[in-house]
Amino acid sequence: MRFNPAFWFVAPALALLVVFFFLPVGAALGLSFTDFDIYALADIGRLRFVGLDNYRRLFGDAEFWTALWNTLYFVAVGGPLSVLVSLAAALLVNHRLTPFKGLFRSLLFLPVVTTLVAVAVVWRYLYQPRYGVLNYLLGGFGIGPVDWLGDPDWAMPAIILMAVWKNFGFNMIVFVAGLQSIPESLYEAASIDGAGARQQFLYITLPLLAPTFLFVAVITMIGHFQLFAEPYVMTQGGPAGSTLSIALLMYQQGFRWWNLGYASAIAFVLFGIVLLSAVFLALQKRK
Amino acid sequence: MGPYFPMSRITHPRAPSFLLACAVFLNGCQPAENAEVVEFWAFGSEGEVARELAGEFERRNPEIRVEVQPIPWSAAHEKLLTAYAGGNLPDVFQLGNTWIAEFAALRALEDVAARFENTGRKGDYFEGPLDAAVVDGRMLAVPWYVDTRILFYRRDLLEAAGVAVLPRSWDAWFEAMIRVRERHGDFGLFLPIDAWEVPVIFAMQQGAVLLRDGNRHGDFLHPDFRAAFDFYLRWFREKLAPAETSGQVANLYREFGRGYFTALITGPWNLGEFRRRLADLDASAWDTAPLPSFDGSYPGVSLAGGASLALAAGSTRKEAAWKLIEFLTAPPQQIRLYRLTGDLPPGRTAWTDPALAGDHKAQSFRRQMDRLLPPPKIPEWERIASRIAAYAEKAARGEMAPLGGLEALNDEVDRILEKRRWLLERGR
């Protein structure tokens, strides 16, 4: 049997993918049908094949539904907000009247490359209910102190605010690239035809940004579904489980309690949700 | 605060010990080239001083070299489990007491009962910490230090409110706190709303066993537990305790100094911290006391936490490794550890040392030491404890009715213990 020469060119990459991606994923899928835990770690004879039990249990697990709800909240509110902020920032730094474009771009990109743990420490000070700057400023408007990270109703908005601030720079850069690929001549033609700034934005900028939009939306959504680090360092999922995300629940089950079977099932459910949403989003946009 | 310290302790950086280690090195006290190497893992602030403690051991036992690896508490549990999975456990390692049952289930620990018996030190230990190291009748570790919870309170605020004698029962404490609040405002007792320790201590004091049928089922609907849970929630209901997590109180020491709350239930590490950080508060303005009780006994029961030293079952150098454990847990080294880290000795001899005997505030811990109980010794305990904390928080915040919360907790704990029941039925 003779292989197409192209096979040998992709073989190294393929081998790496198989060994470091497909095999572990396959193993995790297998694991999700077992009750692998601390007992099984000691003695494989204590491992039970449980079929779909982990999945069944998951759908009866109040913690999972809390985590799913929190994650959807984060995706539905944080995702669009993040995209809008990035777009606004991109339009601002890309505007021809803006001076020092490079400087502003770098400054707005800085949070993306800053270590999250350091960011979290600073934001915890900002959010501090009695001495924090945020409440001090709000107090100036006569708004009573908000217990940002301690009140179950406010913890998720606080996490969203921080996540948007931390991550909008990346999408901003993508949008800037998209904006710069729109030919200047289109704007010139439009302004000769008498189109104002609003019309130019609605009928030239937005349609031509559509491919960029789709990319940003899908990437942002996938990223937001995997919410983990922010609640992990800020709240540990609290208060009262209000910032527990699916990825955080998976981590706790897997690496804190060593229920690897159950954690694998959570991972696959999360994967299914993300896959469906991404396909759905892509189809919507294509219409 | 990390995710799963045994009895969630806060560790603080201390002066590095490598300077001392270098001094030892320069003195030519380096052990012989062909010395036997014993690996030793220690965590948090104990990890930071472990090299120093091991240096002394090497001087006395030149034929053994100790390879110390300090690990932060927040990574310790994962690191130990992955080391176990990879067959790389060190010969000797520190083990949070609530982890002993877990590593017993992994069969990773050597039974050290006979070796320990030979040291003749058994009678020196307090019962609580010693009991914590025994799982299913096997002694799997030697207590290294004790971590328990007692009261830290503002004596001046109590006296200003006309409470001259320190209350010895919880009901009296509750009344006293109401009087303090009337006079002073703010709160009486600080109970971190997301912690399991206080609800569990209240439950143990009420005589609740937490788990029934040989730790096969949850017992959280038992009247004893319900009474304790109700008392715990009363502090929040009456606004005598702020509904705040430990992470939320920006600066525990400053708030205590300001009198934002009058008392808190906390552990030994705060003895040193309070002294250091409450510099503007007169030393007589605050004090410590063993826990009150419900039944009039004094002191009331508290938790036997802390850490022990374990010998890996798979170690190939058990004799040398045991020598290290024997050395590190001897009374003089218990005192040394106390001086270096503030960790409290688990043995009576060490408590007679002037450093501790003359310390009135530390002696409250000594008195508490006579009434300690360990939490249930099963691998699932930390997980159960985290669920107790979760439901206690929900109930304290009024998001769940107390009884509904306990029913859900009981169901969940029964589910967590399902595998344990299955294993016990099959005698595995």
Residues in B touching A129 (Cβ below 8 Å): 248
> How far out from the chain centre does Cα B377 lie?
14
Complete domains list, chain B, with CATH: 18-148+304-357 (3.40.190.10), 150-303 (3.40.190.10)
User: Using one digit for the tens of pLDDT, what is the confidence trace for B259-306?
Assistant: 888 999 999 988 888 888 887 888 889 999 999 999 889 899 999 999
ipTM: 0.79
**Cβ atoms of B315 and B110 closer than 8 Å:** yes
| A49 backbone φψ class: left, alpha, beta (φ>0; ψ -120 to 50) | beta
CB pair distance less than 8 Å for B248 and A41 = no
Complete domains list, chain A, with CATH: 62-179+206-286 (1.10.3720.10)
**In whole angstroms, what is the distance from residue B45 CA to residue B341 CA?**
7
Residues in A touching B105 (Cβ below 8 Å): 38-39, 42
**In whole angstroms, what is the distance from residue A31 CA to residue A264 CA?**
6
Residues in A touching B379 (Cβ below 8 Å): 38-39
Shortest CA gap B309–chain A (Å): 21
Query: Closest to A240 (Cβ–Cβ): which among B105, B379, B394?
Result: B394
**Cβ atoms of B193 and B245 closer than 8 Å:** yes
Taking the Cβ of residue A272 and every Cβ of chain B, the question of whether any pair is shorter than 8 Å is answered with: no
* Cα first-last separation, chain B: 36
Taking the CB of residue A148, how many other CB atoms lie within 10 A of it? 24
Query: Closest to A38 (Cβ–Cβ): which among B379, B394, B399?
Result: B379
How would you write the pLDDT of chain A (287 residues) with one tens digit per residue?
677 888 889 999 999 999 999 999 999 999 999 999 988 988 888 899 999 999 999 998 889 999 999 999 999 999 999 999 999 999 999 888 888 988 999 999 999 999 998 999 899 889 988 788 999 999 888 888 888 888 889 999 999 999 999 999 999 999 999 999 999 999 999 999 998 889 999 999 999 999 999 999 999 999 999 999 999 988 888 788 899 999 999 999 998 888 999 999 999 999 999 999 999 988 887 66
3-state secondary structure of B146: strand
Residues in B touching A37 (Cβ below 8 Å): 419
Q: Average the pLDDT over B339-345 and give the result.
A: 92
Structure tokens at B102: 């877990």
* Cα first-last separation, chain A: 45
**Cβ atoms of B37 and B57 closer than 8 Å:** no
Query: Please, which residues have CB within 8 angstroms of residue B297's CB and are 6 or more apart in sequence?
Result: B371
Residue B407 has pLDDT above 80, yes or no: yes
- Output the pLDDT for position B3: 36
Structure tokens at A39: 């007992």
- Output the pLDDT for position A76: 95
Shortest CA gap B296–chain A (Å): 34
Structure tokens at A95: 């505007």
Phi/psi at B201 (5° precision): -60, -45
Query: Closest to A38 (Cβ–Cβ): which among B4, B102, B397?
Result: B102
**In whole angstroms, what is the distance from residue B178 CA to residue B176 CA?**
5
Shortest CA gap B183–chain A (Å): 22
Residues in A touching B399 (Cβ below 8 Å): 152, 240
Those residues of chain B whose CB sits closer than 8 Å to some CB in chain A are: 3-4, 77-78, 81, 84-85, 102, 105-108, 193-194, 243-245, 247-248, 250, 379, 382-383, 390, 393-394, 397, 399, 408, 415, 419, 422-423, 428
Taking the Cβ of residue A128 and every Cβ of chain B, the question of whether any pair is shorter than 8 Å is answered with: yes
CB pair distance less than 8 Å for B250 and A256 = no
Residues in B touching A239 (Cβ below 8 Å): 193-194, 245, 393, 397
> How far out from the chain centre does Cα A146 lie?
26
> How far out from the chain centre does Cα B65 lie?
30
**Cβ atoms of A234 and A165 closer than 8 Å:** no
CB pair distance less than 8 Å for A239 and B81 = no
- Output the pLDDT for position B247: 66
- Output the pLDDT for position B6: 44
The DSSP secondary structure of chain A, one letter per residue, reads: ----HHHHHHHHHHHHHIIIIIHHHHHHHHHTTB---HHHHH-GGG--B-TTHHHHHHHT-HHHHHHHHHHHHIIIIIHHHHHHHHHHHHHHHHSTT-S-HHHHHHHHHHHHHS-HHHHHHHHHHHH-TTT-HHHHHHHHTTPPP--TTTSHHHHHHHHHHHHHHHHHHHHHHHHHHHHHTS-HHHHHHHHHTT--HHHHIIIIIHHHHHHHHHHHHHHHHHHHHT--HHHHHHTTT-STTTT--HHHHHHIIIIIS--HHHHHHHHHHHHHHHHHHHHHHHHHHH-
Shortest CA gap B78–chain A (Å): 7
The strand pair at B217-218 and B211-212 is best described as antiparallel
CB pair distance less than 8 Å for B243 and A38 = no
Phi/psi at A243 (5° precision): -125, 20
Inter-chain contacts counted by CB atoms under 8 A, chains A and B: 67
Shortest CA gap A18–chain B (Å): 23
Query: Please, which residues have CB within 8 angstroms of residue A172's CB and are 6 or more apart in sequence?
Result: A86, A87, A89, A90, A93, A105, A108, A109
Residues in A touching B102 (Cβ below 8 Å): 38
Residue B152's beta-bridge partner residues?
Answer: B264, B288
